[in-house]
Structure 1
Amino acid sequence: MNVVNPDTLLEELPGNVFADIERCLNENNSWQKLAEACINGYGDNMFRGCDIKDMQRSVSPARMLLNKFMQMNLQVNEFQALCMLKDNSLVHIHNKLVTNVPMQIYSPEEDMKLVYKLNETIELVVEVDGSPLPTCQWYHNNQVVPGQTSSTLTIDKFGVHHEGVYHCLLRQSLKGEVSEMASGKFCLSVKPTPPKIVKDLPEEITVIHHEDLELTFEVEAYPKPEDYVWYKGNARYLSTIEPKLRISHVDSLVAGQYHCEVQNDEGSCSTRKASVTVLGSALSTSRPQILRKPIANASYNVNDWVHLSCRVQCCQPVTFTCFLNNELITSDGKEIIIQSSSDKDEYECKLSYEITEDNMERLDWKLKFHFEAASSVDRVLTPDVDVKVKPEYGKKTYTARNKWALLVGNSDYSAAKKLTAPFNDMMALADELKKLRFRVLALTSLKEDQFRNALRNFSQLVQKDDYVVFYFAGHGFSVQKFDYMVPVDAELISEQAAVNLGRNEYKKMQPSHCIDVDTVTSHLQSANPALILYIYDMCRHIQSNVSSSKLPDSSLLVDAKANSYFIYATSLNYDAFEVEDGMSCLMKQLKSIIGTKVSVGQLGQRFKELFRRTKEVQERQIPRTEGDLAEPRSLTDDACPTAEDKAGVLQQWQRLSSVGGGTEEECDVPSCTDQRMCAGML
């Protein structure tokens, strides 16, 4: 690479640099791509068609092209701009000259919401400048899009799986320093489309008696239809969740005409009628008669077995089929055992099903069984049997030694936007945790030194086998995948750097004056508690142009201990929002379920499911959960302090809580509106 001034004229370039550019332009006819771009009206420098013909006849077409540029007094930066006009195919020539110009994004200037039709081909373009030219990497919902490293992202046959948020992360190495910058977001969605049949049902279909019948078709629609309603003749027959109807062991009663109606919010359509003929049936007046229906116990626990049986009478041989939640199940000899027997004209099926925690999690704690008894000419279904399982964690009961919570709500910022929700959210969470017998320390508007003191002193209360909740609400940001919490007295960076970083105030904070989340983890993990739940209600926009010297000390990182779970209000490079009632979107949903008797992992999943219904911030705030918690511990588990605790840490807590006017028995939250009192406690 050759470092030159961007205002330098081409004719002033050193001879070896000029010769290098000439050689590259002559390779693969790159000179012609550049000349044709000028002829087609790009930029202020245009040639005539005859000029290109003259160049083609020259020994060095690139030299003639460069001579014409020099006659126009073209500068280096203008030449580099021309090299970017032809589908980025001349980037290698652009990079022959380095002008040390910081990267800059010209488009998109702000986040864009774009709607496209199904199967449409689309292009997302980021217009960027800088020398050396920044490298590009596209992301879809914060996940790397493999192989997409150009400033243009092409999506062929746009579909529902392409929906979401895209952005391009740019990286430039300038004078030995690497900086990153994220483009605006492209929020893509599919244009609502009424259903349209693209592959219809067959007009006629013939099936052999006692074989299986399957009717399928293909439909294009958005949003996807919730169900497909099948009709036999003019009578409603069945609803399915996909455009497929399957009937097992057909008999003569299956014969007839079938069609399916499809509907979404945009419209409806219907398939043609398919005429089904059943061959080889032998009609009989007999059909299986149910003698004993399956009956379940009143309730079950995890690791119990469910034993169900069904007995029928029929003059024809009978085969049984078992269903769980309307899905066919078969015997595996381990967790599912199915046995059939007969005695003259009576037939019996016995089903044994083991209730495991994994199965219950997969089935969302819902078990509904039924049997099908089929003879050669007919079949019957038993009524559904609902099995109630107590939501317990197997036979094992988990307890905490002590239950602690440190809540920080930063609202009154001196150098950033003041916030309303953090204090309200902190107090709402404190109320819910007190109901679960947590001892809660809630602090508001902490300065940096108060924040660090709070962490250090609070962690001294935590012991092995304790449960801990840490909560922070306030401004936040990310640097190279490290998350930072902003104290109320955090300082701004330099004015010029702030201009380069963009529109968000919290992007202008000095990381060295903020608290990174690994500092919290280091303090709280030191005693190896049984459970730590971290809740971070803050923005996580990426802040670039930060030197590695300001990143967290690697000595703070701790080994994973299979005891942690994280709930982030939003994903990396996304905002977190407040709602009109003075509460954050995270707390609005979390406070309604935090007292539910489920594992912390299930709590995080339910929170994300509830959050999807928050229409005010759809696509703008996407929460994230993660963790290595190995045991199904719950915030509702009981606490069992030791005798040593009652004379030790619990007395320390009683002295601390009395400063705020509470008692140890009440587990009250100290009042934290007085900063002097906060400093005294810490």
Structure 2
Amino acid sequence: MSKTRAGLLRHIRGHANSGNYNCCGKAFQDAYNLRKFQRTKDPNVTCVYSAAGALRTNENGTFRLTRKLQFAMPALGLNPQIDFDGSINELPGNVFIKIRELLDRNPADKDWRALIRCVESNPKYKISNVSVEQWSPAISHESPGGKLLTELGSRGMRVGELRENLEKINIDTFQLGLSPYEAIRLITSPSTSKDLYDGDTLELVIEATGRPHPRYQWFFCENGKNDFKKLQGYNQAILRIQHITQQNAGGYSCQIHNCGDPNKTVLTKLTVVSVSPNPRVANGLHPPDSGDFIYMFSQLSAVDPDHVAALVNGLQDRSADYGSALESITQIQYKLITGHPQDITVTLGQSFKLSVKTSGDPPIHYQWYRNGVKLEDGQGPTYNVICADKEDMGSYYCIVNNGVKKEQCRTAQVKETIKTLEADITIISHPQSVDLSFGGSALFSVEAQCHLPLSYQWFKDGAPITGETGSDLKIVNIQEQVKQGLYQCEVSLATPVAGIERKRKLSKSAFLRLKIPAVTDNIMYNPSDKVALLIGNSDYKSEIKLAAPKSDVHDLAEQLASMDFRVVTLLNLTKPEIENAVMEFSRLIGPNVYVLFYFCGHGFEENGISFLVPTDAPSMYSAEECVNAFSVLDNFQRKQPALICMIIDICRRAGKVKSNAHPSLFDQKVSKGNTIYCYATSPGLAAFEDKNHGLLLYHLKPLICKPVGIEKLFSEIKEEFFKVPKHSTRQLPELRSNLSEPNRSLTDRIAKKGNTQSYDLQTQIWNSYHVKPPKASGQLP
């Protein structure tokens, strides 16, 4: 061990018993315990909080920081505007843009391609790189990262899932407002001492966690001095110095921080490094030749000038034989760009690319320029143009920067191929992106000019749309998310012309975004329960048998159950059975309960009153032998529910026998403003079935789960009905409502809070319906 090394250790350990470790000034431990960096009351001592100031000891043994450097760190805490259970398409605009820019500009291990690799384990989110590469050049005002985020959002990815995947590729989610602050936790620290020889590599490794991600700054105190200096450029978790010399001997420590509060900064324990003469050189055992030193020098980063000087001094001290090596070292220049773009000539409408090759420490950042103007989509080693236009012609160059060095490549000229005969196509107006609600319509238009006739072909997500060959593309009554995507139009010459190349030109892309409101959007209404009674009569004694009721009741029951309805389904009931079913079902009804009644079978109407025909009705049945629909409603109204929906799928022609039925009392019966009727047909008309479904349910089934107000829901069902001529010419649905709250929806979520007692009672009644009767035994005569 060298004398300097031994002396330093004795000096440091001199106060071990008192717990105060010294290095050339008896307060070394204070320098490496930031909790002791407090403002001193001694007027002769200055103490400034700093992230990277030079450390010096005062006469009284305390430490002072001689240079002030303010932290520029984000505010702590989560963004309160972010719903982590919501779709990533609902992120605040500024957060979405930050994530998109990070994915576009980050190095390859944490860019948008890395995110694709991270999520591909889930088949729901698996996206090929080729698909995204095809998206990128076609989007004039978007980016691959932005397109990827939009695509993942359309596939149902939640913000919480996105945060987890961003953390997996080492993107700091705290900076995005997606994660709370986490204090620094030191997992691995360097050893307190390290013995090396001249020419060895010094490597000190730290592992720490925290949010935002920890920042590092290494400090060094040279042997025999009382001055801690910041090591410029050494701000990573690993400190690596190659080919060390005696000048690298001393104390090393790292300052770790992730916020502007100095009390949250962590300082690692002192690592004392001793450097002894290399025994191989002293014993004449094959010392390195001059070529080895030239190679060694070329591997040093330009950020280490002190180490370069130390190496040169060390070579001069060791032997004059390295004089030629030193002369060669001074002539070596660090080059970042190793390959430059070349001049090219391109035909309009064709593609071209410019490339620059680099070498050096990553991450390497690229920025392309055309005619001196920065290209927003040119941040890679290659700049691609899919369809060259006149505006793409000009002078191109790229500026490359790796944080250590910045270089500009040679300027490459891109020129247009000159042709004698041309037919220029100029697109005057491009399609515009639109945001639509469920059921909305979109119109995309493109306007182009040329002295020859033009043809058009529209594309969605890169695939041609069959039959869409006009300058306008109209999409009406959008009901499906598959309509969402990128729309673009290709304009070309309608017919080939001799001597003129058939030109094509693509418009800018327009994005159609479809917002389907979630069930939670209707936060005004939360029923305490939702119940439904579905009756289907098909096997009649004296009437034609029906095919639709059984399947219609089954399909409707499944959809209502998916919306948390308690559903009772009954088939082929007599009049007493229908009346008893209504009475028993009414026990499930209470205030703030949603009720849905559906009857499918034979029926008729007299004096504005609808009658439901039971299966045991005689051939010439009268009103007295059937069930009055208003009597069903009256049973429900007695329980004062929040909403009653009556869906009557019967014929409304006059009965076979004149009855004494009284005129409709609808206005009096439903005066509470809580009832809506949906009739399968209008008065005087029949209701029909098609194969195994009634025409009403054929149009009701696709829309009943839509999260909209119930009046709007049945109005849309009527609109869909009239779009099918063969249905609307035979059957005309009718909607009657006196709702005072028409925005109540069948999809409203049940709220048990404040209704626990009534909900539990209804649950007991519901469960009692499912209890089998006890076994009984008897003897047959």
Q: TM bucket by the smaller chain?
A: 0.3 to 0.5
Identify which of structures 1 and 2 has the higher relative contact order when contacts are C-alpha pairs closer than 8 Å and 6+ apart: 1
TM-score norm. by structure 2 comes to: 0.33
Q: Whose Rg is larger?
A: 2
Instruction: Give the strand-richer structure, 1 or 2.
Output: 1
TM-score normalised over the length of structure 1: 0.37
